[in-house]
Structure 1
C-alpha cells in the first residue's frame, strides 16, 4: 500500500506543478459524476405513474415519494391544490418546472471540468517543453537527465489530462442521455395529469 502511494506521488511530482490542479479537477469531476449517477439510479425507482396520480388526486392522499421528480411534483401540487381548475392547472405546470433544475444539476459542471482537464494537460506540455529548451540553451544536449525531466513533465501531464477528460466526457454524455429520457417521461406524465385535471372527474371531490 505504501509502495503504491509512493509510486503515485512520484508520478504526480514527475508531472510538475500542473499535476496538482489536474488532480483537483479529477477529484471534483468524479465527485460530481458519482453524485449525479446516484441521483439517476435513485429516480429509476420512482414508480409514480398516471394511475397513482389519479388515485392521489381523487383521494387527496400523498404519493409514496422516493425523491423522483414525478413523485415530488405530485406531492408539491397536492400540498398547494386549491380546487379551482384554472389555478390548479397553473400550479401543476409550476410543480413540474420546479423539478427541471434538479434534473440538470451538476451536468454542466461535469462537461466543463472534462474540457478543462486536457487544457491543463496542454499547459503542462508547454511548460515541460519550455523547461527542456531552457536546458538545451544552457547546457546544450549534454545534460540528458535535465532534458528527460522536462520531456517527462510534458508527456505525463498530457497523458493525465486525457485520462481525466475522456472518461469524464463519456460519463457526462451518458448522463445527459439518461436525463433527457427522464425529462421526456416527466413531460409525458405532466401531459397525462393535465388532461385528467381538465376532466370533470378530477373535481368530483369538490362538488
Structure 2
C-alpha cells in the first residue's frame, strides 16, 4: 500500500508523463524477465549433437524445449519418415526448422531495445512540459513566485530522472540479452552444419 502511495506521489509531482513512463517500465521489465528466464532454461536444457542423432535414428521426439531439440522435433514431424529418399529435400526441411527456431531466439529482443530507447524520450517530453509550465508562471507572475516556478522545475527534473532510471539498466540488460541470443543463434547454426553432415553420411549408407 505504501508503495502505491509513493508511486502516486511521484505521478502528482512529475505530472501525467509519469504514467506512460511507469507503463513502459513495467512492460520493459516484464519482457526482460521472460527473456532472461528463457535464456537460462535454454542453457540448462540444451541437447548435444550426439543426443540429436540418437533422436533422428530412433524417431523419438526429444523432451527438451531448447532450440536444438525443437528444430529436430519439427524436422522429424515434417519429414514423416521419408529421410534419405531425397537429400536436398531433407536439407531444406531442416533449414526451415532451424529458421523457425531462429525467430523464437530473437523474440522480445527488439521490443526490449525499443522500450529502453523510448523511456528517456518520455522523460525528455516531461522535461519540456515542466519547463513550459515554468515559463508560463514567469510570464504571469514574473520571477517573484518561486514556489510556482519550483513546481514546474521539479516536474521537469523528476520525469528526466525517471526516464533515465528506466532506460540505462534497460539498455544495458537488453544488450546483454541480445548478445546471449546471438550466441545461441550461432550455436544453432553450428548444430545445423553438424546435422547436415550427419544426414549426408547417413544417406550414403
Bucket of the pairwise TM-score, normalised by the shorter protein: over 0.9
Select 2:73's aligned residue among 65, 70, 75: 75
Aligned to 2:170: 168
Once residues 127 and 53 of structure 2 are traced to their aligned partners in structure 1, the CA distance between those partners, rounded to angstroms, is 60
Q: How does 1:13-32 map to 2 (within 5 A)?
A: 13-32=12-31
Deviations 1:163-198 (A, max 9, x none): 000011011100011001101111111000000000
Q: Does 2:9 align with 1:7?
A: no
For the 8 Å contact 1:57–1:202, the answer to whether it is kept is no
SS in 2 for 1:131: helix
**Superposition RMSD on alpha carbons, in Å?**
1.4
Which residue matches 1:107? 109
Post-superposition shift, 1:45?
2.1
Alpha-carbon distance between aligned partners in 2 of 1:62 and 1:127, rounded to the nearest angstrom: 58
Tell me what 1:37 maps to: 36
Cα deviations across residues 150-172 of structure 1 (Å, max 9, x unaligned)?
Answer: 00000000000000000110111
Of the candidates 179, 182, 186, which is equivalent to residue 181 of structure 2? 179
Instruction: Give distance in 1, aligned partners of 2:2 and 2:66.
Output: 44
Deviates further, 154-163 or 133-142: 133-142
TM-score (norm 1): 0.92
Task: Report how far residue 4 of structure 1 moved.
Answer: 3.9
Distance 1:152 1:189 in 2: 55
Aligned length: 201
Change in Cα spacing, 1:64 to 1:4, as seen in structure 2 (3 Å) is closer
Task: Say whether the 8 Å CA contact 2:10–2:18 is kept in structure 1.
Answer: no
Question: TM-score of the superposition, structure 2-length normalised?
Answer: 0.93
Corresponding residue SS for 2:191: helix
CA contact (8 A) 1:46 1:70 kept: no
Secondary structure in 2 matching 1:160: helix
TM superposition shift of 1:203:
6.8
Structure 2 Cα separation of the partners of residues 112 and 80 of structure 1 = 35
Partner of 2:140: 138
